[in-house]
Amino acid sequence: MKQNAKKLPHDGLERILIRGTNWIGDAVMTLPALASVRAAYPRARMTILAKPLVADVYRLFSEADVMIYDKRYDNPWGVFRLARQLRQMKFDAAILLQNAIEAAIMTLAAGIRIRAGYDSDGRGLLLTHAIGRTDAIFHVHQIDYYMEMVKALGCPPVDRSLHLETRISPATAQEILKKHVPDGTPILGIAPGATYGPAKRWLPERFAAVAVRLAEKLGARIVLFGGPDDFDPAEEVRRLAAGDCLNLAGKTTLREAIYLISRCRIFVSNDSGLMHLAGALNVPTVAIFGSTNPVTTSPAGEKTRIVRKPVECSPCLKKVCPEDFRCMTDISADDVFSAASELLQKG
């Protein structure tokens, strides 16, 4: 998969700015690319510019400082205000993992002499090191999408697999677990939400049915995860599951959610950012796919199972199903429970 780009210089890059991606799953999938940049420039000071939603992913799992891109900068005046701030920090190079043209405008206005990234969103002329995107690049896993970018810039290959559990403190994880589940009951994680529209969400009653059966099998408490926007679908699952079920959607920080997920016996999720975290944390993860494509966005990790029914209109990548939603309704609770049982048997 050949990408056309000039290589970055080997020397003279002491401060590197990296514009991170904006969503949790995307941030997880950029981590091998960040490791590749670090391997190329082991003594450089790397700063990741990231939105608050994903900042803790980069803080916990990358070898870089994190600078927050907050709401003040989400407008044309804010972009140039941030550019003035970046100019004062005297970066030698910027690598833009995010695809938007605003990132190129901002780093050009900041006077950063080397600006590298994919030539997406019409920004190729604003970059000094523009990387062309072939048709093939749109059909690889997103981990490889980002890895191919930094490879084209001359960064060395690194292990693309993710083992984030090695970066989690067991003591801190146990402390956070005690805060939310003080009796020490084993937990199983369920993530019934998904940011990119209802087409990614499996049916709440089926999540509830699977959760109850797994809780009985494991002697575990059901814990529902998600952000504030996921509270209502999670609450519906909690109501249907009844019993020992805790809805933490929107009630934890991302850092707390990461530590709690790391302690789950198993994690069952739609295609979501938390699914990517669970897989990368090497937690047994069952991922339910309908409108999206597991070829490009399946969870990383060695303990994952994809549950999907092949229908002719999937993957459509639409937010709302325009048809009969059979890509999800064809997936039964038995299908998901069986996948989870197979993972648990493997240990």
Quick: pLDDT tens for 205-249.
Answer: 999 999 999 999 999 999 999 999 999 999 999 999 988 899 999
Q: What CATH code would you report for 15-154?
A: 3.40.50.2000
Domains 15-154 and 166-346 share a fold: yes
Residue 319: which pLDDT band, with cuts at 50, 70 and 90? very high
Instruction: Please report how many Cα atoms fall inside a 13 Å half-sphere around the Cα of residue 326, on the Cβ side.
Output: 6
pLDDT over threshold 90, residue 263: yes
**Antiparallel, parallel or unpaired: β 245-247 and 187-191:** unpaired
Cα gap 191→276, rounded to integer Å: 11
The per-residue pLDDT for range 51-110, each reduced to its tens digit, is 999 999 999 999 999 999 999 998 989 999 999 999 999 999 999 999 999 999 999 999
Which residue is listed with tokens 């490879």?
151
Give domain limits for the chain. 15-154, 166-346
Cα gap 119→194, rounded to integer Å: 29
pTM of the model: 0.95
Domain 166-346 in CATH: superfamily? Glycogen Phosphorylase B; (3.40.50.2000)
Tell me how far apart the terminal alpha carbons of the chain are, to the nearest angstrom: 36
| Amino acid found at 204 | P
Which residue is listed with tokens 């059901």?
222
| Amino acid found at 48 | I
pLDDT over threshold 70, residue 1: no
At residue 3, the pLDDT reads 60
